[in-house]
Structure 1
Amino acid sequence: MADKSKPTMSTIYLYVPNIIGYIRVLMNCVAFAICFSHKGLFSVLYFISFVCDGIDGWFARKLNQVSTFGAVLDMVTDRISTACLLVILSQIYRPSLVFLSLLALDIASHWFQMYSTFLTGKASHKDVKDSSSWLFRLYYGNRMFMAFCCVSCEVLYIILFYLAKSRTEDVFDVLLSSRKQSLALFLLEVLVLFGWAVKQTINIIQLKTAADACVLHDINRKQKA
């Protein structure tokens, strides 16, 4: 007779945080389907989906429903939704290479980090206690600071998408001209630009650190051969 206390595949798929993850995917699908026809609704749906990224983690810890599937679903949803928005921004703004470069950096840094975590046998990609970078340790060691940086990136991208009036905008002109539209909006942009800059710095540090870990793994493997 099966032990009901042990989780099965179906129960893990139906964990509360994982259900929230499915809702996030659904919201993103709807948001991107209407992004050009209903920019306001897109912005709301996209932001709510992003906020749910923190909510599902809270439920996972509170209900003891932490799962590898949920963690992967969470990260994949984050990466794909941000990637889609960056691709859209690359088609609206010039120079488009800015947004495509941000997309490449985001994917590369997280992929290297996840793979290096697997190689070193760590339980989580957020375990960076042995890093020599104080900023890197602060980012992954302080949930509020990490949340601020992540939210800043998404809010900045949403603002840029919402402010665009045509498909040939200059990103720097739009940011500077917003000061004339609203002082509050301009101050918000300055705040999120700071968080965005820190997040991109973290991505670069993460990419370099994870690449070093992969190379070190190769060296150790060859020395043992």
Structure 2
Amino acid sequence: MEHINVKKWNSYSVYLLIPNIVGYIRTLLSVLAFYVCFSKPYWFITLYGISQLLDSLDGYIARRLNQASAYGAMLDMMIDRSSTTALLIILSNFYPAYIQYFIVIILLDVISHFTYIYSSLSYGKKSHKSIAKNQFSILRIYYGYKPMLFLLCLGSEIYLLWLYMRRFKIQLALDPYLESCAYPIFTYLFGSLFVVKQIINIVQFLQAVKDMVRLDVNK
């Protein structure tokens, strides 16, 4: 989400900007989803899925209505990181043999985003999605081409939800042939998107480190 000068708003109005209200709704949906995650899997998938789909809506509204704010960007990032982390914790409980991998993914997700946003702010950028020419091209594609950003984020979330569904043996209510086709699609296609997303997280972290070192050298 891009930031703009918020001096035309007072504190109260910033809290009630439409994109931020969407953020509050996302937060409520996430809390409700994780409250029932162990007992009502269908409700969890529905609530969590709606919350994640609204993630693209708040950014669109912010750009459309010129209501992008620093507070909204922080709220959006907080919801994204906390919900993904919580889902990975649940999956580590369901798949204890892979708990070390889930821990690494959680750490990578949180650290890469924190360091990259910190480095972006240190350079005076209004948004971490603003990629300079001297930064890695893959980040320019990832953040600059919105369909790519949407596809990788959506694919990653679908893959994690697929792992959740497999734990509860939830079927897709499809024809048996289509059901057999869906398995490799969800496992390998969305799994590949999830892996690509983790690679970008690594690149993002390396870019943040590189930028901060450059900042120290140029002081």
TM-score w.r.t. the length of structure 2 is 0.88
Unaligned runs of 5+ in 1: 167-178
Per-residue deviation at 1:131? 4.0
Q: Distance in 2 between matches of 1:116 and 1:132?
A: 12
Moved segments of 4+, more than 3 Å: none
8 Å contact 1:131–1:137 — kept in the other structure? no
Describe the SS at the equivalent of 2:218.
helix
Per-residue deviation at 1:7? 1.7
Q: Which of 59, 66, 69 is 1:67 aligned to?
A: 69
Do the aligned partners of residues 95 and 6 (structure 1) sit closer, same or farther apart at CA in structure 2, a change above 3 Å counting?
closer
Summarize the alignment of residues 90-109 of structure 1 with structure 2, pairs less than 5 Å apart: 90-93=92-95, 94-109=97-112
Aligned to 1:45: 47
Describe the SS at the equivalent of 1:151.
helix
Aligned to 1:209: 207
Amino acid aligned to 1:14: L
Identity %: 38
Describe the SS at the equivalent of 1:182.
helix
Per-residue deviation at 1:220? 2.4
Per-residue deviation at 1:133? 2.7
Summarize the alignment of residues 138-157 of structure 1 with structure 2, pairs less than 5 Å apart: 138-157=141-160
Unaligned runs of 5+ in 2: 1-6, 170-176
Task: Output one character per residue of 1:144-182: Cα deviation in whole Å (capped at 9) or x when no partner.
Answer: 00110001111111110111149xxxxxxxxxxxx9x62
Q: Distance in 1 between matches of 2:35 and 2:135?
A: 43
Q: Distance in 2 between matches of 1:62 and 1:110?
A: 25
Per-residue deviation at 1:191? 1.8
Matched, 1:89 2:87: no
Aligned to 1:173: none
Amino acid aligned to 2:12: S
Amino acid aligned to 2:217: I
Per-residue deviation at 1:132? 4.4
Describe the SS at the equivalent of 1:86.
helix
Aligned to 1:172: none
Do the aligned partners of residues 58 and 119 (structure 1) sit closer, same or farther apart at CA in structure 2, a change above 3 Å counting?
same
Describe the SS at the equivalent of 2:185.
helix
Q: Distance in 2 between matches of 1:44 and 1:107?
A: 25
Summarize the alignment of residues 108-147 of structure 1 with structure 2, pairs less than 5 Å apart: 108-147=111-150
Amino acid aligned to 2:145: N
Per-residue deviation at 1:186? 2.0
Per-residue deviation at 1:60? 0.7
